[in-house]
Amino acid sequence: MGFGQWIGNLFKRKKQAVPPKQLKTGIVFSGGGVRGFCYIGVMRALKEAGIDFDYVAGTSIGSLMGALYAADLPIEEMEQHALKIKQSDFTSSKLVFVPSKTEKFESIIQNLVGQYTFETLKKPLCVVAVDIKTGKEVHISDGNLVKAIAGSCAVPGVFTPVDFGDMRLVDGGLTNNIPADALRDMGADIVISLDINPTRGYGTESVKTIDVLKASLRILMVSNAINGYVQSDYIIKIDLAEFSQLKVSNTLELMKRGYIATKQVIPEILEVLNKTQADKNIKKMSRKIKAIHKKSEQLEKLSKSLTEKEKLELKSIGKRGM
């Protein structure tokens, strides 16, 4: 080897191997009323397995449980609080279609996470609700944490809406019960969602008005869960159909069910979380859904800006085209 070649080899830079990008992960806590106490068992199972997530999103009761997870409260503390909660701590009205104010429920939220703000939580949290004034879904990640959670949990007919700035919030489950898309927007590459109502959509043989209304709502809920399924890498399904969504009972059993159901699928969860690349098909579908929503909003704005005469002209053009 010549001296010049030796010098060249000495100073030749070795190509540095580029480390793979660290994928960001997120967990979705879906809605489901007081069945959501099972999430405490889910969190225990995840913690025992050493599984942690970067981002958190929640709808309805899932927003409260998501806040507990984002605050990293001790599991034992969550369990103790949950076991003390009674039906009267949630609602005051016992009459059908006479909603309760949220003050009682807000005091529960205050006791659990009142010392936190969105900014001081240990993980970024997105609370999903609906602004009943506009009918639009809203993703909240700043402002009053307690009010945001109360609004997301304000099931129409059960609770009165919650004022939040210029908005009037009701249950986020009306439009998005499994808000995996919120986590995609936050930057999550891998999304694990929790579904505690996988049998939604079943009907009823009863002709009682209240039973027919309940069945109708269950059927409607199917469509707003589809987007969550499409945008999730894995769904932890916990069938709690035998438990009421509105009546506090069997809290300990709910936590046990959440724990057992999650323990059983830990290997599958780890397999998904250990991926080195995000699922391109899910990301592609997420972009398409977002584009459709954007187009829909643009068309809605255009429709509102049209005069009655222009609307009639468009209608007549449509009829001619048919």
Residue 315: φ, ψ to 5°: -65, -40
In the numeric block, the tokens 């769904």 are attached to: 235
Integer Cα distance of 40 and 273 in angstroms: 21
DSSP string, 303-317: HHHS-HHHHHHHHHH
Helices (H) and strands (E) in the chain, counts: 13, 8
Whether 223 is a known active-site residue: answer: no
- Catalytic, out of 131, 171, 189, 233: 171
Close Cβ partners of 208 (under 8 Å, ≥ 6 residues apart): none
Contact, 100 vs 161, CB < 8 A?
A: no
Contacts of 29 (CB under 8 A, 6+ apart): 36, 39, 56, 57, 58, 59, 61, 62, 63, 65, 66, 69, 194
Say how many Å lie between the first and final Cα of the chain, rounded: 83
Query: Does residue 171 have an active-site annotation?
Result: yes
Q: Is-contact 140 126, C-beta < 8 A?
A: yes
Token code pair at residue 153: 């949990």
Closest CA to 259 of 25, 49, 57, 70: 49
Return the SS3 of 239.
coil
The Cα 208–Cα 91 span in angstroms is 24
Rounded Cα–Cα distance for residues 181 and 226 (Å) = 11
Q: State the catalytic residue, choosing from 30, 54, 60, 232.
A: 60
DSSP secondary structure of 123-157: S-EEEEEEETTTTEEEEE-SS-HHHHHHHHT--BT
Question: Which residues are identified as catalytic?
Answer: 60, 171
